[in-house]
Amino acid sequence: MIETVENKTQTSPSVRLTPKDLQSDQDPRWCPGCGDYSILAQVQRVLPDLGVPREKYVFISGIGCSSRFPYYMNTYGFHGIHGRAAAIASGLKMARPDLFVWVVTGDGDALSIGGNHFIHTCRRNLDLNIILFNNQIYGLTKGQYSPTSVFGQVTKSTPFGSIDHPFNPVMLSLGAEATFVARSLDRDPKHLQYVIKRAAEHHGTSFLEVYQNCNVFNDGAFFTFTEKETKDDNVVVLEHSKPLVFGKERDKGIRLDGYKPVVVPLKDGKYSVNDLLVHDEKSSDPAIAFILANMSNYPGLPRPIGIFRDVQRSVYEDEMVNQIRAAQAKRGVGNLDALLNSGETWFIR
């Protein structure tokens, strides 16, 4: 029987999960200090608040360090092959729309061999959640450059520096018209929990990029944005309907000069918060979200974290169910044998 779920956060009063209930009997095996531990912990802390039975969760992964994730969740899970997690998740969601399906992937798994599946999942807007662990390196295979490695990055496969222009995962997902797009940090548990919960509540494809430190092959890649000494002056937190203010003393802001975001001081009297760009995550026009995402590509601008976009449009599996029901109402229950033996057929002798 095909079921449809109108609201992903329908809760059951009888469900009283704790983070421990979601921990499997497998000991997480990542390198000591890896950011993956934090992401796992935050997911296990958020899911009990959703009031969803444990048997309704499915975690699907591809290949990479991040893809060990399903082993550590005491839920249903599937460890797929390289780059195919989104395709497997899409098939599952169409077969069982009632399940809460999560894709756990990395920058190599999702954006290299899995790039085609990733963009079409976003485009179709299936009701599933994608968490991309971005450490700008191939960690499991020992340090080759990835689709998000910065230009000039020296790795085992680019000893003279990468000459590829890196993907910006947020811009890529916006370009594929994902309806929920966000970014967070492995070293900011409170913020990470918030965006995970918002992603889970979204009806449609939710995409969350997490800056995740690989302390063996790319240590410190995001320390400018995660460490206490530098974070406030280099990160701007996106909050719906609020101006973009940042800095240790909250004394800087972002305003638009035409289509170009610029940093302006707020203490010299020339500019005030009224001159700043006000974030609107609900805008139907993704233009401003693109401008914010593109800030990552320019030195001197703070790195945006938070929810870039959260809008609604038709969900793929809901439309599929509606078509099936309409066909059943018009023609009755189908007969596969009659279908295969109807019309033009050929017998090969």
What would the mean pLDDT of 83-99 be, rounded to a whole number? 96
H/E stretch holding 256 reads: strand 252-257
What Å distances lie between residue 202 and 156, 205, 300, CA to CA? 39, 8, 33
Per-residue confidence (pLDDT) for residue 142, from 0 to 100: 86
CB 126 within 8 A of CB 93: yes
- Give the count of alpha carbons within 13 A of 272, CB side only: 2
Helical spans, DSSP H, in the chain: 36-46, 85-95, 107-108, 115-124, 169-175, 189-201, 223-226, 231-234, 287-294, 316-331, 336-340
Give the CA radius of gyration of the chain.
22
- Residue 328 pLDDT > 90: no
What is the sign of the dihedral through the CA atoms of 99, 174, 66 and 224? negative
Q: For the chain, give the percent of residues with pLDDT over 70.
A: 96
Residue in this structure with the two tokens 């997690």, named with its chain if needed: 85
The domains located in the chain, with CATH, are 19-236+281-327 (3.40.50.970), 243-278 (no CATH)
3-class SS at 79? strand
Predicted confidence (pLDDT) at residue 234 exceeds the cutoff of 60: yes
Mean pLDDT, the chain, integer = 92
Reported as a pLDDT band with limits 50, 70 and 90, residue 8 is low
Whole-number Å distance between alpha carbons of 247 and 235: 8
- pTM of the prediction? 0.91
pLDDT for residue 4: 43
Query: Averaged over 72-81, what is the pLDDT?
Result: 96
Query: Would you place residue 14 in the very low, low, confident or very high pLDDT band (cuts 50, 70, 90)?
Result: low
Sign, CA dihedral 52-130-185-300, equals negative
